């Protein structure tokens, strides 16, 4: 069935109207550019499409949004926002050359107290953990057998002395008789020999007395050093032997005290050169480095390098007045072997590591980030020595680097600005 021309016209009306409305939306979006032209021509153009649109074109024109100049300026695209960072200024100063290592605390002197004679322990004059002085009596062993041996040796000497006195008188008589030919030469020689033998015997008797006295003295065991005693290894009443290796108790001297630690063999020349100039300061720390236990100095390094590990052993001595160091304790060590003067120093937090090595961000012109490759020879947990890449008067970024690249605007406060803000 064929449609009339009027019906066909109405069927195209609404699609046409939809197309026109889309065009109007685009015109409204760019209204500022097209407003003069649209006011003059849009009405007649719409009128050619449909009388109804002509009647309402004015209302469409007035319904478009209008903007102030300030709003137009705000709508314009802006550059990248400034990134908040923390900064610090590079400085020139002295930087200590520090070698770190691991070590073990060792008693300055350690003595295992053992008996030098056989016998029963009759007295223990110490308590476990006591601090004892040199020559304090620690242990007493039953002295009676050794006292008897001493007295026997003394009696033997007295007996031989009496015999010697009698022999000397006989020698005098034989000498007088020999002059008158009443005694033979042989009798005189025999008596002279006997006197010599008895004299030697008395000397042997004295040696026996000295030995017996020494054995008796050994029944009283004294502390050979000042130190702290540990757990007793033998209880009161037990029999001890001179051949026993277990001992009775151990004394450790802890004031002063030593730390044995190692360093790679590559550092031996630096250590040797530093020690030749004077004592090298050494710090003993907890193994995690969070606490400094004591400060001391390097005493000596071993006379050979351990070929299996490529390290050398060193010994440092600490006063240990507060007794924080204890034999057997594991510690970290920090030893200063030299000091570099007049070097550029930056905070360690400014140093980053990339594929090409170390780098840092410097505050460049117009407060924008500038990446610099660095040459670093010394660095610790707090600071780094910059041999090349940063000058002493430059400011480096110490925090917030993960959002930076070359040219990124920076938002920061200098140390002076922070101080001024805090005072306000």
Span 174-183, pLDDT tens digits: 788 878 777 7
Q: What is the pLDDT of residues 16-39, one digit of tens each?
A: 666 666 666 655 555 444 444 444
Mean pLDDT score of the chain, rounded to an integer?
84
pTM over 0.85: no
pLDDT in tens, 331-359: 999 999 999 999 999 999 999 998 889 99
Per-residue pLDDT tens digits for 81-129: 889 999 999 999 999 999 999 999 999 999 999 999 999 999 999 999 9
- Can you read off the two tokens belonging to residue 55? 């009647």
Which of 14-28, 191-205, 268-282 is the least confident region? 14-28
Q: What residue ranges do the domains of the chain occupy?
A: 5-75, 86-92+342-423
Q: What is the mean pLDDT of residues 306-310?
A: 94
* 86-92+342-423 is a CATH 1.10.3720.10 domain: no
- Three-class SS of residue 38? helix
- Answer yes or no: are the C-beta atoms of 90 and 396 closer than 8 Å: yes
Percentage helix, strand, coil for the chain under 3-state DSSP, each rounded to 5 = 40, 35, 25
Please tell me the predicted confidence (pLDDT) of residue 64.
47
Asked if the model's pLDDT at residue 69 lies above 60, the reply is no
350 CB-side CA count, 13 A? 31
| Phi and psi torsions of 378, nearest 5° | -135, 140
C-alpha–C-alpha distance, residues 12 and 5, integer Å: 11
The fraction of the chain above a pLDDT of 90, given in percent, is 64
């Amino acid at each position: 069935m064929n449609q009339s021309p009027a019906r066909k016209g109405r069927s195209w009306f609404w699609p046409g109207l939809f197309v026109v409305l889309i065009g109007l939306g685009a015109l409204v979006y760019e209204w500022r550019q097209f407003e003069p032209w649209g006011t003059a021509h849009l009405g007649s153009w719409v009128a050619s499409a449909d009388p109804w649109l002509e009647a309402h074109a004015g209302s469409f024109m007035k319904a478009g949004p209008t903007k102030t100049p300030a709003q137009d300026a705000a709508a314009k695209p802006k550059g990248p926002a400034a990134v908040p960072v923390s900064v610090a200024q590079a400085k020139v100063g002295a930087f200590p050359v520090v070698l770190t290592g691991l070590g073990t605390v060792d008693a300055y002197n350690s003595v295992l107290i053992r008996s030098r004679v056989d016998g029963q322990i009759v007295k223990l004059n110490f308590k476990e953990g006591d601090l004892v002085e040199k020559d304090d009596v620690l242990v007493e062993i039953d002295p009676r057998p050794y006292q008897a041996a001493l007295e026997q040796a003394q009696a033997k000497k007295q007996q031989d002395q009496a015999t010697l006195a009698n022999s000397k008188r006989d020698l005098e008589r034989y000498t007088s008789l020999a002059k008158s030919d009443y005694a033979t030469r042989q009798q005189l020689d025999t008596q002279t020999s006997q006197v010599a033998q008895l004299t030697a015997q008395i000397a042997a008797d004295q040696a026996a007395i000295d030995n017996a006295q020494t054995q008796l003295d050994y029944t009283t065991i004294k502390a050979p050093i000042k130190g702290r005693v540990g757990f007793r290894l033998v209880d009161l009443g037990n029999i001890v032997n001179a051949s026993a290796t277990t001992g009775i108790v151990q004394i450790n001297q802890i004031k002063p005290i030593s730390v044995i630690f190692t360093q790679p063999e590559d550092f031996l020349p630096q250590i040797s050169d530093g020690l030749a100039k004077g004592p090298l300061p050494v710090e003993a720390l907890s193994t995690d480095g969070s606490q400094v236990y004591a400060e001391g100095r390097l005493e000596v390094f071993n006379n050979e390098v351990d070929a299996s590990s490529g390290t050398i052993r060193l010994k440092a001595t600490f006063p240990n007045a507060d007794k924080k160091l204890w034999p057997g304790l594991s510690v970290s060590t920090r030893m200063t072997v030299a000091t570099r003067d007049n070097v550029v120093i930056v905070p360690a937090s400014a140093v980053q590591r990339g594929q090409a090595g170390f780098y840092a961000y410097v505050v460049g012109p117009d407060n924008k980030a500038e990446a610099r490759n660095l040459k670093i020879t010394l660095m610790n947990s707090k600071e780094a020595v910059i041999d090349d890449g940063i000058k002493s008067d430059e400011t480096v970024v110490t925090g917030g680097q993960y959002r930076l690249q070359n040219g990124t605007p920076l938002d920061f406060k200098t140390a002076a600005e922070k101080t001024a803000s805090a005072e306000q």
